[in-house]
Every structure is written in C-alpha cells, then in structure tokens.
Chain A
Amino acid sequence: MMADFDPASLSKTALFALADTLIVYASEPGGKPDMPYVLLDSAGRIFGFNGHVDLGTGIRTALAQIIAEELDVAPGAVAVILGDTARTPDQGATIASETIQKSAVPLRSAAAQARRYLMERAAAALAAPMGSLTAADGVFSTAAHNRTISYAELLIGVQARLPLDPTTPTKDPSAYRIVGGSTQRVDIPSKATGELIYVHDMRIPDMLHGRVVRPPYAGVDAGDFVGASLLSVDEASIASIPGVVAVVVIGDFVGVVAEREEQAVAAAKALKIEWRYTGALPDLKDLAATLPGHPSAPRVVHDVGDVEAARAGAATLLDRTYVWPYQMHASIGPSCALADYREDRVRIWSGTQNPHPLRNDLALLLDLPADRIDIVRMEAAGCYGRNCADDVAADAALLSRAVNAPVRVQLSREQEHLWEPKGTGQLMQARGALDADGAPIAYDYSSWYPSNGAPTLALLLTGRIPAIPEVWEMGDRTSVAPYDYPNQRVTIHDMAPIVRASWLRGVSALPSSFAHESWIDEAAAMAGVDPVEYRLRFLTDARGVAVIQATAERAGWTAHTRPQTLEASPDAFHGRGFAYALYVHGKFPGSAAAWAAWVAEVEVNRKTGEVKVTKVTVGHDAGLMINPAGVQHQIHGNVIQATSRALMEQVTFDSAGTAVSEWGGYPIITFPDIPKIDVLMLPRPDQPPLGAGESASVPSAAAIANALYDATGVRFREPPFTPEKVRAALQAAGLLTGPPTATAAPKRRRELWSKLVQIATGLAALMVTVSPWSPAIAPRAGPRPGLYSEATLERGRVLAAVGDCAVCHTVPGHAVNSGGLALETPFGVVFSTNLTPDPETGIGAWSYDAFRRAMRHGVSRDGHRLYPAFPYTAFAKVSDDDMEALYGYLMAQKPIRSAPPRSQLAFPFSVRPLMAGWNALFHRPSPWTDDPRRSADWNRGGYLVEGLGHCAACHSPRNLMGAERKGRDHLGGGVVDGWDAPALTSLSRSPAPWRADDFYAYLRNGYAPHHGAAAGPMAPVVDEMRALPDEDIRAIATYLASFGDQAVTVDRQRATVAQLEGKAQALAPLIQTPGASLYRGACAACHDANVADPFAIQLSLATSGGVHAAKPDNMIRVILDGANGELARLHGAMPGFRDSLSDAQISELMRYARRRFASDQPAWTDLDATISRVRKASSPQGRH
C-alpha cells in the first residue's frame, strides 16, 4: 500500500525509509548513501533531485526533460526538486550556467540506471527477454504488445536503493524524443496566476515581519570599520510605532521585528542610529586611474611566442585601454527570506542560489551544526550571479532567533541596490602590433579585476568573521583572445575588492571580450580589411568559424573597410558592428560554453547623442539543445540585458559607498528601446549540451561599440554609451548637429530677511508706547453639558475644520488639538497650545469671554499676549454666532492633559507685552462686513477666507515685523514652515491660470488637473475641509477667483496647457542629461502622459506650480518627503525620495525638470545649497 507523501517536505532519512520505492542515490566517499538523484514510487510518480536552483532560466524544465527522456515518460510526469539542503545533493553554487553542462550528467545516469533496474524486473515479471521489451509512458510492453506492466506495479513491495553507477549506458542522442524538443516551462502557469511559488509569498502561522537597517558604508565590505561603526541605537525613537516586537543589535547588524510588515518598515525607517563612519572609498569615477593604484599581484596565465620581440619588429603598434564600469545584478525583487528558529533548529525558506554553501555560512553565524539547519529553496527574482538572497536569509535567521518566532524579512529596494555584490569594474589594456600587411603579430593583454566572493553580510556585520578583503582569481575568464595571434601574453592583476563585488553574468569574460573584440575591430580598420573577413583570417576553431559565417550571412552583412558607409541623415547616423566570443568559464584555463556572434545595428541621434540598438542578429552554437525554445528565450534575455548594460548601466559611488539606490539612478532598458532580435541557433544534436545561460551576452558590448564606430567613425572604449558620452564625442569630432550644451545665466536673488534684526530692534521703541497689559479673566468651569444643542456642536465641528484648528494644534500621531506642534517663524519657534478642555494644560478653565478675547484680540485668558502665528488678525472677523458654536464644540471635546513646550522667540518678540504695540500697528479687530455689490456667494466666500479660514496667514507676504501685507499684496503669496504658499491672486506664477472651478476642484479633491496636488502644509488643510459642505467650497472658490483674471475661459486655459505640454514634449528628446534618465526612471511612471493611457495619475510637470515657482523649495520638499494629500488617497501618493535620491541626484533631476517643463523660467540659483539646507531643515515625516 502506497503512503501518500510529498518528497519535497521529507528529510533524506524519511525518503530512504519509504516503502514501495526505488531510489538511485549519490554515495559519500565511504560508500554511505547521501542524497537521492531520482525516486520512483508505486503510485507512478517520478522525482528528480538536484542541488542547483532554477534562476528563471528554465533549468527545472530542462532537467525534467532529461529524466523523462531516459525513463521514457512524458516530461510532465517528472517533478524536479531543486536546491533543498535536506534532500538534494550538494553540487556547489549555481554558477556560470553549468547546471546543464555538469550537474545534469549524474541525473541522466541515475534515470538510465532506474530504467535498467525496472526493465530487469519487467523481463522477469513478463517472462520475456529484455531485448524484446519497449517502454512508453511508464509502461513496459512485450514485442507483440500482448503483455504489459507499469513502473508503478513493478515497485509494489520493493524498497530498492541503488548507488549511482556513472557508467550506466544512456540513450543515444539520435534516439531522443523529448530532449531537443521544445517543452513548456512548468513554473509559468503558477507565476501567471499568483500561486505560491516564490519565497516572497511564503507565509506560516504566527509569522512576524522583520526589516534590517544597514550601516552607512553602503556596499563596502572590507575595512576596519566593517562591523565596528555602530555608536548607539535610540530605541525610544520608535516608541510611538505600534506593533514593534524587538530591536536586535549585534555589532553593526541592526534589525527590527514587528507584528505587521508596514510597522516593521516604519520602525526601520524611523529608528535613530548613530554611526561613526565618514567614508573610506577611493575615487571610483576614474577606474583607469584608480584600479592600477590598488594593490594587486600580476599572474601570467598565457604566454606564447615573444610579444616584446614581435612588437620591436612590428610595422604598427596598436595599444588601447578599455574600461568596464561597475554594474548591478539589479534583481527586480528585493531579496526575501523566512526563518523559523526554535529549539536550536532552524528552517529557512530562501531564494538562495547556493543552498549548501549558505548552510555552512549559517552554521558559522548561528553556531549550530549544519545538520540542524534546513534550507528550503523557493523561487525568487532573477539574480544573474549574486544578489542579496543569502544575506537576507542570514538576517532572517538572526531575527527569528532573537524573538523565537518565525520572521519574514524582505530588503528594501534601496538596500538591494546599495548592498548587492556589484559586478565589478574592470580595466583592460591591449598592447598589440600589426605587421606590414596589417596582420596581428602581437597581443599583450592585461586585466585588472577587483572582486571576491562577497561573504554573507551578517557574518561581517556581526563581527563573526573579520572584514579582510580576499583575493579571488576570477579575472581570467575568456582572457585569452580566441584568435591565432602568433605572440600572445595574458596577465591578470588579481586584486582584492574595493567595494562589495561578486560575479555578474559573463563574469570577467564580457569585459575581456569587449577588449578583444574592440581591438581586433580596430586592427581590421587599420589593415583596411572588412572586420568579419579579418576575424576569419585568424580564427581556426571550426565551430567558431561556422558561427561567424552563419551570423554574418543571416544579418545580410556586406563587407566594408571604412566606417560611415550606411546612409546618414542630418538627424541620425547608422552603423553595424560585429563581435564574436567563445565563452570560457570556470577556473583557468576553464571550459568552453557556447559559441556566439553578434551583428548589432545602431542609430545614433546627431543632436542628442542618444544611441538606439535597432536590431541584433545573434548566432549561437550550444551543442545539443535540451529545450530549444528555452534556449531561444534565454538568448533573448541575454541580448536585452547585455544591450541595457552596454548602453545605460553604471553604478556610481561617493566616498561613503554606493550612490545609486533606485531605478532612476540605475536605469535599465525598457520596452520602447528593445531591439529587434533575430536568433540563429546552429543545430548540433550530435554534440554534448553546453551552458546557454550567458554565452550569448558575451559579444554584446563590443558589437555595439563597433557599430558606433561604423556609424560615426569614433571609437568608444568605455561603456555605458550614454547620450552624454556619445554627444561629447560627436561634438569633439564636429559631427553634432544639435546645439552645444547651454547653461542659463543665474540671477541674483534678493535676501529679504537679512536686515531683520536692525529694523526689528528699531521698532521695539515704538511698540512699547502702547499699553501692553491686559487683565486675566478668572478661570471658570466650561459650559455645562447640554448647554449647546447638537446642531450647534455640529456647526462648531465644521467651523473648527474651516479654521484648521487641528492642523496647527496637533502633533502627528498625538491626540487631536492637544498642542505642541512646533511652528517655525522667521522670529523663532512657536509651539501651538493645547486646545482641549483640560482645565490645567488646555482651555478647560476658559469662559466664552476669554475665548472670544483670544480669538479677536490675541490675548490669552491669563492676560498674556499671543503671537500672531495664532491668526487672531483673521479670527477677529468671525461672527459672534459662529464664535460661540466653535467654543461649544471645542469645550465638548475629550480633555487631554498635555503641556506643550514654551515658545522661544528672538528679541524683541521674546518680550510678550511688546505684542500690544504690534497689534496697534497691524491688527484691525473689525468683523467681516458684506459687500452689497457682490453676490451672496462671494460674500460667504470672503467671510470664510478672511475670517476663520485665515488663508492670508500663509498666502500673504509678511512685512519685517511679521505682519501680513495688505492691498495688492493681500493673498499675494507667502512662506509657511519653509514652504512657499503661492499667490492666490493675479500675482500667481502658476503656469496655467486659475478659474473658480480649479479652486473648487483643488480644495474639494486636493487636486486640480492643471495645477497639481495639495502638498506640504496645504494637504492637511484640504483634509480638514472635507467637513465643509459643497456650497462653502464653491463660495470660497468664487471669492478667490475674483482676485484673478476674469477673462480666463476654459478654452483659453486649455490652450495654455496644450502649449505648455507641447513645449515640454518637444524638448524631451533634446535634453539627454543624467537628470533626464533620473526623470525617466524615478518620475515618469506617474508624471508622463501615456499613449495607451493605462495609468490613473498623469500629473504633468509642465503645469506644476512647483516646477515653475521662483524658489525651488516646494519642489525639493515634495521630492524629499512626498505628497500625501487627498489626491494620494484617490490615485496613490507621491512617495518621498529622501532615502532614495542623493542631493546631487535631486539637483540633476530638478535642473532637468526646470529646463524641460518650465523652459521660460530662469534656472534656479543656489540650487545645490538650497537642497542641502531644505533636507536638513525638514523632517522626514513632514510637519503635518
């Protein structure tokens, strides 16, 4: 009887104990059974086990095909279990696309061995000779098909355990029916419908959520500061965040655990930590200068002939230097893991590429024997080498151990970008020589390669292992040029990493091939020979020759000996380039993977320097292809990713560490820029299968660089080929047809507050002449409950909303109206008071008279003068009825005991009685009077705007004494809390004019289509105004619109907007700066109008007030801390980029936005200084 079991959840011991099964297993050196390779059971199920993992390349499907082939079953009948440490063989790390090439071999033998075993039993059972049996779909039949028996039946009552016999004969490839045929991937249906398959989606009962906080040495893993930079952690800084379970600190490892994921995110963001690190990186902007200066040891790996002698006798020397930038794996999903640590055992669900090596790391980190650690491998985001999957598994293990509960940890986008082990930068030098016929006679190639294995981060951060950089000899992949140069020397300068680095697709082979293939292209040009023809002259590898010829023919290559033979226009050059590589990977001399050749076709924009790869023809010989459709898919991926790397990808660093932490700063290729791809797969069914994971990417950058040369006659030796770089080269070569880069002349700004102190002091004398004293009003109990009707209290509630009481009188996260919010004024910080009816700390002892006096005259109950940060100058206009309703409402609130700090202002404002003088000068305590010539609507609006609404408090400029300026300046724009409060009148600088409908939309929804969204201090005002009825919002809109141009029609407004949009659209292709690529990556998803229009938000910056404003402050603030107004609730918030973009990046971005979207406005002056000041002055959470 067959037990129902799931081998994916059984340990090795349990698997071996199963009845009615056949297992072919790997033997340990002593012959002891290790892990199974294949398992068949009496239910007809077939399982394959492999220590490698599927990284999105379809390995699972290909391995199932191999097993199915040997066993004569359908591929769908085989389930493949990958990478679990408890039940799969240790086959090392999944690297260099060698799963098919190497680890599939024992699997194939194991399947063949299982088949032979079954066939022997079938022969006995059917009493027929083995030679007469055939197998199909898991059933043996005799020649006459009159007797059959299934694999399942053969296993009843059997417990067969066979050590792998690697000499078992396997099928002849000519008999393959499954391998070599295209098979659908088994994982895609789950992925397309949201079934559980990714580690990110693994959830278990009682699971908590963890987040880590990384040190400031972002992406640097060697140096004495690593693991030793933490000074202090202020746990009180997250006391107000609910749900926090633990803060875990071990050395420089810091993590938080919370009940809910968003709580963990918030806690990790808010946790105040002091570090003592100030930066330790050398300048990585100029790798050609920096890398040779880094300690290294030369290693000559190849030396034939005598390069120096050949150079001495050469007709021409051809010495070239090539630089490869640091690049990222840039996994689309930040790494994630779930750990369940209890009773000295830990089970970890992980997306690791290296389950067995990771287990050893965790044993060291946790001080546990390896057999108490169980790693369950699940699918994860593609990683193309190494991402942070191992790191986050260790993070989760530490956090789970600390709280004794399962903890899921996912890294932030920023952490993944900053800390992933980068694909390292590389410097390549080719000292070559040609003879008189132009033939290459010497090639002296050197490469500087700083990389290592990037130890699991937690080991370093906790101090478990020392942060001593280790030198790994990985700079030698494909370092020998594939051509028959009679004299060739290859020297690798092995060096320790400078930043955390590890292998990235094509390891050192892609950069080395870039050098080899760029160099030979130059040699061909010097020799006056067609570059394809030239390569073929010096290549003897027959399969290489075949790939080159087939690829050139497929692409319709026409021989040419000089650049710029293709048709050009004043706008664009066209070119095509060739490159070839045989990817040699593994420890030197390594083994060859697939052969590949590229013909790249490019279009170069002569105005902007923008490069578009329009078509790639790629030829590929990977031997026998297990799943040709899978190989083709994989080649597409390689072409696209490699094109992205060659055109746009480069990691930048500052002195602290990695300086790019999101997709704006590290852009990758997107749909409109994908080249047409023509894949030519050479059929080689008689040759062993070769890794197809990355070979096709190796010729990429050289082919594109050679195409750029063909298009422009200029050689490009340092990817990425960004518009900036290409434009500069075109300009230098006199080929640019666009305008040279222009910068607007800065204008000087008048500093308003500089003379403040002198003038203020002078006025102090005047102020003191007015009677400064007001009597206290005796404390008394508030109104008895029931004094005010429900209707009155409701009216009071609405009035409190009109007055935005809560906006200033509430600290976010604290009780409403309990005061204590710090309001920054030019004169110092004013703290709002407690407006709840607490008798001691609030207004509980205030009579209505005291309240009314404060509202109309700015005098507190005890007689002291209030500062006009409290807008009594406006509140004076409130009617008595409304005043009393408001009083009733406030007194009916729940009393909260809370004593806010005392305001501290500079002299003369520190002397409160002087405010009497201020009042005499600037305060007119007269109530609002209707203007009979105006509509009732207008008058209602005026009453609300000028009275309780106190719009002018923020939107009017203030004089040097802090009083609102009147007349033409009334509502003419002010400053609040460091934000520009724009003019609401004809003084508005808004690019599109405001109509009453716009005011209404903005105040009602927090968003007006041509004006943008309420942000900063205005966002909570709009929130409060939700309490107002529509008629009041309409009235306010009518009143405000009366200050503007009455002649503005919808049509005129539409025309203005269309003109602004058109201008910005026209400028888009012409501005190709780093700011443009930041905008595309970080902003455009929401801010760019879209042809097919699938997005909810289309907030064009062409009509944004912030981009057009005289001062950059508002835009800086919105970029830093986002906008979360009413619009956010409807369409999604503008997220804050404080932790994602540096000051320098924000500056680039804003310069771009100003140039493109507000082209009629002058460039902002002092932008960099302003960004730095605003970042320091504003708090991450925003004021309101």
Chain B
Amino acid sequence: MHEPGETEVAFTVNGAPARIRASGATPLIYVLRNDLGLNGPKFGCGLGECGACSVLVDGKIARSCVVALSGVAGREVTTLEGLGTRRQPGIVQTAFIEEQAAQCGYCLNGMIVTAHALLSRAPDATEMQIAQGMRHNLCRCGAHVEIMRAIERAGKAMRRGEE
C-alpha cells in the first residue's frame, strides 16, 4: 500500500485480458479511456453523483470515477462497448436507438449500462421500479421520456428472449 509509483494490475475488460501498469489508486475511468482506448465511460463529476462513467464490475454497476485500478484486480469489467457494437448492438442499445433515446447523449453510457444491470436482474421491472432504479443517473437534456420507453422496450425484448 505504501510503495509509491506503479503496480501491475491484471483484470478482464469486455471479455479480454488486460494488464495495466499504473498507480493502483488511478481511477478506473482513466485506465479504461486512456490505456484501453474505450469511449463508453464518460467523465461527469468524479464524485459518483451523476452516473456518466458507469461500468459493470462482475456484472454489478460501479461508477468508474470512484473505483481504483487496484480494486478491479482479477475482476471482470464490462463497458458500453462490451454490450454490443454498431453492427451488432445489444438488446438495450438497440432499444435506445429505436426509441431515439438521447439528445446530446453524454449520459447515454450510464443510462444504457445501468439499464442493462437493472434489467438483467429484473427484466419485468415496472415503470416505477425503472424510474427508481435510474434515479441516480442524471440527464440534463430531458431525454427521460424516451429513455424510459427504451428501457421498457428492452425489458420486453429480454422477456421475449427468455421465453
């Protein structure tokens, strides 16, 4: 803990192994963006308040601005890129595109990743449960209506997929 300088941390990102040498205290968001070239997680507040930098760590939502690199050693990190690509978007991404659920879209990463975590756990979440589950993800443009529709659409698609 007290050694200054760098440590090497091995973990998994979107299914591929990653080994990063950096200070163990480095916020995960900078490693994902700068060392691994991922665009999904966006810096929004650095305080865990807004959700723009959300990623999944072992399938659970984490705010990558307050997770240290050393904390993900041996763990599995999934970013927006890991949920699908433009050619093959994931279920939640598809629903967001179909519902046109963005204005500026800066919050979109957090919205999609959080919705993915929420629906993975509760694909039949009600409108009120979705609103509650998403309440700590901030959107300034006011795309909430379309985002809610997109999540409900994704929930339906997931339920269909399960049948």
Contact = CB atoms under 8 A, between A and B. Distances in A.
Partners in one complex: yes
8 contacts: A192-B89, A332-B52, A382-B103, A413-B44, A636-B146, A672-B131, A1094-B133, A1132-B62
Interface in A362-396: 379-382, 384
Contacts of A384: 140
Given A262-B30, A674-B148, A1096-B60, 12 more contacts: A193-B86, A193-B89, A201-B33, A240-B4, A334-B44, A379-B105, A629-B100, A633-B143, A634-B103, A674-B131, A1092-B125, A1132-B48
Given A203-B37, A1132-B67, A814 B43 contact: no
A468 to B, nearest CB: 32
**Centre residue among B49, B62, B114, B117 by max chain A CB count within 10 A:** B49
Interface stretch (A721-729, A895-903, A1078-1086): A1078-1086
B142 A261 contact: no
Nearest to A813: B4
**Centre residue among A191, A192, A209, A380 by max chain B CB count within 10 A:** A192
B103 A1092 contact: no
A333 B43 contact: yes
B84 A193 contact: yes
Interface stretch (A519-527, A637-645, A779-787): A637-645
Interface string B119-147: 00110010011111111111111111110
B77 interface: no
B67 A332 contact: no
Interface string B8-38: 0000000000000011011100100110011
B100 A633 contact: yes
Given A190-B86, A413-B46, A1091-B133, A670 B138 contact: yes
A185 B96 CA distance: 12
A200 B144 CA distance: 23
A1093 B121 contact: yes
Nearest to A630: B100
B115 to A, nearest CB: 9
B129 A1092 contact: yes
B106 A198 contact: yes
Given A189-B86, A191-B108, A637-B141, A333 B44 contact: yes
A1082 B49 CA distance: 6
A332 B104 contact: yes
B68 interface: yes
5 smallest beta-carbon distances between A and B, as pairs = A56-B104, A640-B142, A1092-B133, A382-B104, A637-B142
A530 to B, nearest CB: 30
B2 interface: yes
Given A185-B100, A382-B141, A1132-B67, A412 B46 contact: yes
B44 A639 contact: no
B123 to A, nearest CB: 11
Contact of A56 (B80, B103, B125): B103
B163 interface: no
A816 interface: yes
B49 A1085 contact: yes
Contacts of B33: 201, 261
A74 to B, nearest CB: 18
Contacts of A1095: 60-61, 136
A806 interface: yes
Contacts of B135: 670-672
B68 A1129 contact: yes
Contact of A413 (B4, B47, B114): B47
B95 to A, nearest CB: 9
Interface string A49-80: 00000011110000000000000000000000
A639 B142 contact: yes
**Centre residue among B47, B85, B118, B130 by max chain A CB count within 10 A:** B47
Contact of A668 (B40, B63, B65, B138): B138
Nearest to A191: B105
Given A195-B86, A262-B23, A332-B52, A1085 B63 contact: yes
B50 interface: yes
A662 B47 contact: yes
A40 B57 CA distance: 47
Contacts, number: 260
Contacts of B140: 330-332, 381-382, 384, 641, 668
Size category of the binding interface on chain A = 35 or more
Given A334-B44, A1092-B121, A184 B49 contact: no
Interface string A780-823: 00000000000000000000000000100010111110000000
B2 A812 contact: yes
Contacts of A200: 42-43, 106
Nearest to A381: B106
The main secondary structure of chain B at its interface with chain A is loop
Interface stretch (A141-149, A224-232, A1041-1049, A1133-1141): A1133-1141
A671 B146 CA distance: 11
**Centre residue among A410, A638, A1124 by max chain B CB count within 10 A:** A1124
Contact of A1094 (B52, B68, B121, B128): B121
B157 interface: no
Interface string A171-192: 0000000000000110111111
Interface in A325-346: 330-334
A576 B152 CA distance: 29
A261 B102 CA distance: 28
A663 B2 contact: no
A591 interface: no
Contacts of B3: 816
A194 interface: yes
A1092 B122 contact: yes
Given A194-B79, A1091-B133, A1085 B100 contact: no
Nearest to B113: A1094
B28 to A, nearest CB: 9
B129 A1091 contact: yes
Contacts of A639: 142
A178 B85 CA distance: 28
B100 A262 contact: no
A736 interface: no
Given A191-B108, A193-B84, A1129 B141 contact: no
Contacts of B52: 332-333
Interface string A499-520: 0000000000000000000000
A1135 B48 contact: yes
A662 B143 contact: no
**Centre residue among A200, A203, A413, A1091 by max chain B CB count within 10 A:** A1091
A636 B100 CA distance: 12
A1076 to B, nearest CB: 14
A380 B104 contact: yes
B66 interface: yes
A201 B96 contact: no
B133 A201 contact: no
Contact of B44 (A191, A193, A332, A1020): A332
Contacts of A663: 45, 47, 49-50, 138
B145 to A, nearest CB: 5
Given A382-B106, A813-B4, A1132-B62, A1092 B130 contact: yes
Contacts of A677: 145
Nearest to A332: B140
Nearest to B122: A1092
Contacts of B57: 1096
A811 to B, nearest CB: 9
Given A641-B141, A1085-B48, A260 B30 contact: yes
Given A192-B97, A1020-B1, A641 B105 contact: no
A1131 interface: yes
A845 B103 CA distance: 69
A190 B137 CA distance: 20
A664 interface: yes
B62 A410 contact: no
Nearest to A1024: B1
Contact of A1133 (B68, B80, B101): B68
A326 B131 CA distance: 29
